[in-house]
Amino acid sequence: MAVTVRIPTTLRPLSGGAKQVEVAAGSLGDVIASLDGAHPGFRDRLLDDDGSLRKFVNVFVDDDDVRYLQGLDTPVADGITVSIIPAVAGG
């Protein structure tokens, strides 16, 4: 089994247009590394220069915001869905 990662429209050019991709389970950091290995460019779009999640990118493991869990250390088991959701701002 694997982890399903839902890709937002703005990042689909990196995944070849795929709405979702499957990668190996592990910590969220491992999932992002696997995603970037299969589809280069995701790491730069999701993580800042310090290796932390960018402020304007929300990542959910199942339906839980990882900022309220263990961040990049959040465990992601087989069969779990990770959703990448860019923050929307405006007025």
Residue 78 has pLDDT above 80, yes or no: yes
Inter-residue contact 80 to 74 (CB < 8 Å): no
Residue 3 has pLDDT above 90, yes or no: yes
Q: Does residue 91 belong to any structural domain of this protein? A: no
* pLDDT tens per residue, range 25-36: 999 999 999 999
Q: Does residue 56 belong to any structural domain of this protein? A: yes
How many domains does the structure of the chain reveal? 1
Q: Which residues contact 13 (CB under 8 A, 6 or more apart)?
A: none
Q: Does residue 32 belong to any structural domain of this protein? A: yes
> Residue 58 corresponds to which tokens in the numbers above?
């929300």
